[in-house]
Structure 1
Amino acid sequence: MAPKYKLHYFDVTALGEPIRFLLAYGNLDWEDIRYDDAKWAEAKNKMPFGQMPVLDIDGKIFAQSTAISRYLAKQVGLSGKDDIENLQIDIAVDLFHDFRQKIGGWFYDPIPESKAAKEVQLKEQVPYYLKKFEQIVKDNNGFLVNGKSYRLQRAKAPLHGSQHLTLIEPGRRILDNTNGLRISSFVNPLTWADIYFVAPLKYFKFLYGKDFLEGYPLLQELVKKVESTPAIAGYIAKRPAGDK
């Protein structure tokens, strides 16, 4: 029997959103349990490390956003194909944590003098990290890790125009009538590194106060690729309108 998942997190995107994207992507049986401040005050001491997100899998609670995302990626086919690709995924995810901690550390700093100093540093740090990510995406054909071409095999007969599909989904055969080619097998270029980067961006743009992806076209395209994946797009369309 397939497991039942319950995600516990605040009523924001942030570090819970990669998990939501992965659960939606895999069309898994899951419940999105959101907390306001009052509900969190009552529940905090019941959490493994006094923090969220946590994922309930058939009644057993697991913590840590990255670990949960890595687990779910294995369940839905978004891990790397080998140890090297999994290493590259971990590097990209860790780099994202370095990036988002710069923004969060500045935004949540309660000491005015310290916050002002961090704001000066942030003006250099944000473009530094985004340039790194932009280059990574460039080097990987539009993705953070697994941007490889799919294998093509000539069809025995020309394909009907109605069979032309452009959307790549894992595990599906795709027909392309443009050159009479049939894609019989392929490597899905999307990995959970792409999801972990894209899913929380809305929250960190909110903290930063503006869209920091302006001037980074490859990252903007990556966002479109992830968010236009049908299952994820369906989740986004239904999530709370005020989600930040």
Structure 2
Amino acid sequence: MSKYKLIFFPYRGRGELVRLTFMAAGVEYDEEIIEKKEWPKFKSKMPTEQLPVLEVDGRRLAQSLAITRYLAREFGLAGQGNLGQCLVDMVVDTAADAFKEYLKYHNETDEDKKAELQKKVVAEITPQFARIFQNLLENNDGTNDCFVGSSLTLADLAFYEVFTHFLGHNSEALKDFPKLAANRKMVEENKNLKQYLTNRYDSIINPRRLQQPQRHAHISLSSMSTYKLIYFDARARAELIRLVFAAAGQTYTDEIVNDTEWPALKPKMPTGQLPVLEVDGKQLSQSLAIARYLAREFDMAGQGNLEQCLVDQVVETAADGFNEFYEYYKLNEQEKDTDKKEELKKAFVSDAVPKFARIFTTFIENSGGKNGYFVGAKLTIADMACHDIFTTFLLLNPDALNDFPKLAANRQKVEENEKIKEYIAKRPENSI
């Protein structure tokens, strides 16, 4: 049996879904608590210079969602079959979106702005995500009050955790959403979780001593499926999906939505966002959930559970890179002063780009890949995710990989794939 050690700070935060997964599975694990004042001396030793990190038999895995999906697959909490896993992923990624919105309030230091953000959390953010989760719960064919399938999955745990934060600001937030309230009750009545939930940290930052964990003791779609991708005329969050289709040689319809069409289409989408992938008419949302689903379908997700996690941590890090780029992009678009625009670009190019190059180099050196690949001995979604984010970075600085020869070689491997080469040659130039 594998030995697990979770490394995180003394609060819930991004480590809590990992803890909930362990507890729901009844699997014992060790936890190393890092106090904030001690973090600087540990930071450089972590794969992405972030926590949480999970050690599995001494091997360190990074990225909180990559870790939780790995554990969920290991413990039978990830959903049944590839489509079931994608439906779970949609909920988990939506919970991650909701948590990011909550953190804007939580991390604000100006008291007046914080008060305004709290009002926004209660009046706008909470009901917005309640509607989205209700839609997912009603359309994912779950039974027994579960989001997906007939038993507890990571989807239920993810929703439970993020709405614990929201309910702390408005205890009646689910008053008009009885199905979501029933789902929370189902989680709380789980025999493995009940005791833990009464003794865990009571807030995101205010710790209460954690009780020691208690020891408790594939259906896939036909290869003839039809696919339709719905997105805007941009690379952005849909490009990884397109690259997976290209690498697989899979035909699909790419429906481009323009700005005038989007307002009427938005309420018809599962999460009110794009991209959306239709598989034989069934709508799937959340870009990374879609990309992982297709990668599993086309054998590009890594071999076995551990390899899938190693692939996932690369994909999640690429998503972090895009999020940082997008924040820069928005500021740059808003700024009218040419000199200030150039300062913003210099700051991003000198700080964010090399930071991610170092992290990806660490992954490629430590993930056991062969033949220049991140993971395994053939192309996976990890290679495509790194390629895509650095396509964006290299537009800002063509020399960004000069000091990172292993990443440059990996990029060349991706571009030497005949199907991807053909796709890249034909795709429109786009800065984002």
- The answer on whether the counterparts of 1:7 and 1:33 sit within 8 Å (CA) in structure 2 is yes
Structure 2 residue matching 1:24: 3-state secondary structure: helix
Match of 1:143 in 2: 373
Paired residues for 1:128-139 under 5 Å: 128-139=355-366
**Which of the residues 379, 390, 404 maps onto 1:190?**
379
**Which of the residues 109, 127, 131 maps onto 2:354?**
127
- Would you say 1:243 and 2:243 are equivalent positions? no
Structure number having the greater helix percentage: 2
Change (3 A) 1:60 1:216: same
Match of 2:247 in 1: 25
Percent same amino acid at aligned positions? 32
Structure 2 residue matching 1:108: 3-state secondary structure: helix
- The answer on whether the counterparts of 1:9 and 1:54 sit within 8 Å (CA) in structure 2 is yes
CA distance in 2, matches of 1:19, 1:77: 14
CA distance in 1, matches of 2:379, 2:361: 16
Paired residues for 1:220-239 under 5 Å: 220-239=408-427
Structure number having the greater strand percentage: 1
**Residue deviations 1:156-194 (CA, integer Å, cap 9, x gap):** xxxxxxxxxxxxxxxxxxxxxxxxxxxxxxxx4221111
Structure 2 residue matching 1:232: 3-state secondary structure: helix
Deviation at 1:120, TM superposition (A): 4.1
Match of 2:235 in 1: 13
- The answer on whether the counterparts of 2:321 and 2:389 sit within 8 Å (CA) in structure 1 is no
Change (3 A) 1:121 1:236: closer
Paired residues for 1:54-133 under 5 Å: 54-109=276-331, 120=347, 123-133=350-360
Deviation at 1:205, TM superposition (A): 4.0
In structure 2, runs of 5+ residues without a counterpart are: 1-221, 336-340
Tell me the amino acid that sits aligned with residue 80 of structure 1: G
**Which of the residues 397, 405, 409 maps onto 1:210?**
397
Structure 1 residue matching 2:278: 3-state secondary structure: strand
Return the index of the structure with the highest Cα Rg: 2
CA distance in 2, matches of 1:126, 1:60: 37
Change (3 A) 1:107 1:217: same
For these two proteins, the number of residue pairs brought into alignment is: 200
Structure 2 residue matching 1:49: 3-state secondary structure: coil
Task: Give the TM-score normalised by structure 1.
Answer: 0.71
Task: Give the TM-score normalised by structure 2.
Answer: 0.42
- The answer on whether the counterparts of 2:353 and 2:393 sit within 8 Å (CA) in structure 1 is no
Structure 2 residue matching 1:37: 3-state secondary structure: coil
Q: Which shifted more, 119-128 or 227-236? A: 119-128
RCO (CA 8 Å, sep 6+): is it higher in 1 or 2?
1
**Residue deviations 1:169-225 (CA, integer Å, cap 9, x gap):** xxxxxxxxxxxxxxxxxxx4221111122134333444xx22333332221221121
- The answer on whether the counterparts of 1:80 and 1:89 sit within 8 Å (CA) in structure 2 is yes
- The answer on whether the counterparts of 1:18 and 1:200 sit within 8 Å (CA) in structure 2 is no
CA distance in 2, matches of 1:104, 1:69: 19
